[in-house]
Amino acid sequence: MRKIVLFVLVGLLSSTLHAQILKPVKWSYAAKRVSKTEAVVLIKATIENGWHIYSQHVGEGGPIPTSFTFSPSKTYTVQGKTIEPKPVSKFEKTFNMNVSYFEKSVVFQQRVKLNAAQAAVKGKLEFMACDDHQCLPPEEVEFSIPVK
């Protein structure tokens, strides 16, 4: 009986060790001042080959769009909406609709008004990554971007 239990435990352990956690998207952040009282926050996604993330503008019934939520602060005020470059648009059978997405990399930009000499623009983003065979569950990432 011990040998059977040990065999099952070793089998489970080795399959767990070989399981791969997919992380096809890496996020990076920067900020640049455009004046004494304004800055642009840059949020960049670097996407592995074969994968893509979706635009902020996806129709109902489609995939989870990329979205940004900025935390309220006394040191900055968000100005307008987050800007994105022109996405690729393509019909996807999975969603039975045209969807807009980004491959390889994309930089989102958010203008902020500064109410202090230094600020940290904080918030979270949500995105969903897919390839030709699968979609990963939506993921939330918190960020804090210093503006000096």
Please give the torsion angle defined by the CA atoms of residues 57, 107, 103 and 27, in that order, rounded to the nearest 10 degrees: -110
Backbone angles phi, psi at 70, to 5 degrees: -100, 135
Residue 27's closest CA among 89, 87, 84, 108? 108
Model-level pTM? 0.85
Query: What one-character DSSP code corresponds to residue 14?
Result: H
Residue 55's closest CA among 47, 46, 64? 64
Q: Domains in the chain, start-ordered, CATH in brackets?
A: 23-147 (2.60.40.1250)
* pLDDT one-digit tens code per residue, 46-97: 999 999 999 999 999 999 999 999 999 999 999 999 999 999 999 998 889 9
